[in-house]
Amino acid sequence: MTTKLPALQSALQPAKIILVKRKTYLWKKGDIDEFKASAMMMVDQFCSRFSSVSPVEVMWKYLKDHLIQIQNDCILSKLTSSKLGQPWINTCIRRLKCRKRKYRRYSQIRSHIAKQVYDSLEKESRQACKTALNNHLSYSKSRWKETVGIASLCNENGIMVTSSQDKANILNRQ
């Protein structure tokens, strides 16, 4: 007798990771004066609309919705890449790789100076990647917590023994 379990079969399949682009606000490029003015207008409207006996949930929803709306109107934003890259690639290395890509285009023109610049950028980016990877690996290894040695033992009297010499004596007596 064979039974089919469709729920079990679907649960055994690996879940696909859906990469979602994140929204990042560019505060340095935003209009802060307009943001402040809009927030002050929102405060005046809030005070005229609600009193001390108004429900907290309604007031919170009003504040949250209006502040998010002001932020979306006054602050520029962009969607970040959803690629999962290597964790040791930082912005400095990304910039080096981008510069290297640009000079590669110039080196295809057969310019001697561009070729030298491309070679130096390639060497610099390779060295930066190598040091960043080594730093990341050493950091990862330092975070590992390995349990080395023998756990605490109880002697014949039921007393917990933690010193290495006493543990060795207990194990030798067995």
pLDDT digits (tens, 9 = 90+) for 39-83: 999 999 999 999 989 999 999 999 999 999 999 999 999 888 766
> Cα separation of 104 and 98, whole Å?
10
Residue 9 pLDDT exceeds 50: no
Tell me whether strands 153-154 and 23-26 are parallel, antiparallel or unpaired. Answer: unpaired
Percentage helix, strand, coil for the chain under 3-state DSSP, each rounded to 5: 60, 5, 30
Instruction: Report whether 160 contacts 152 (CB < 8 A).
Output: yes
Instruction: Note whether residue 49 is domain-resident.
Output: yes
Instruction: Report whether 151 contacts 166 (CB < 8 A).
Output: no
Instruction: Report whether 35 contacts 71 (CB < 8 A).
Output: yes
Q: What is the pLDDT of residue 38?
A: 94
The whole model's pTM is what? 0.44
Residues 63 and 100 in one domain: no
pLDDT in tens, 114-140: 777 777 888 888 888 889 888 888 888
Instruction: Note whether residue 66 is domain-resident.
Output: yes
By C-alpha distance, which of 117, 126, 80, 81 is closest to 99?
117
Instruction: Note whether residue 132 is domain-resident.
Output: yes
Q: What is the mean pLDDT of the chain?
A: 81
What's the rounded mean pLDDT across residues 9-22? 64
Residues 103 and 57 in one domain: no
Instruction: Note whether residue 126 is domain-resident.
Output: yes
Residues 42 and 64 in one domain: yes
Strand, coil or helix: what is 83?
coil
Instruction: Note whether residue 151 is domain-resident.
Output: no
Q: How many domains does the chain have?
A: 2
Instruction: Note whether residue 103 is domain-resident.
Output: yes
Instruction: Note whether residue 102 is domain-resident.
Output: yes
Domain that holds residue 101: 91-140
Q: Which of 33-37, 72-76, 118-122, 165-169 comes out lowest in average pLDDT?
A: 118-122
Instruction: Note whether residue 136 is domain-resident.
Output: yes
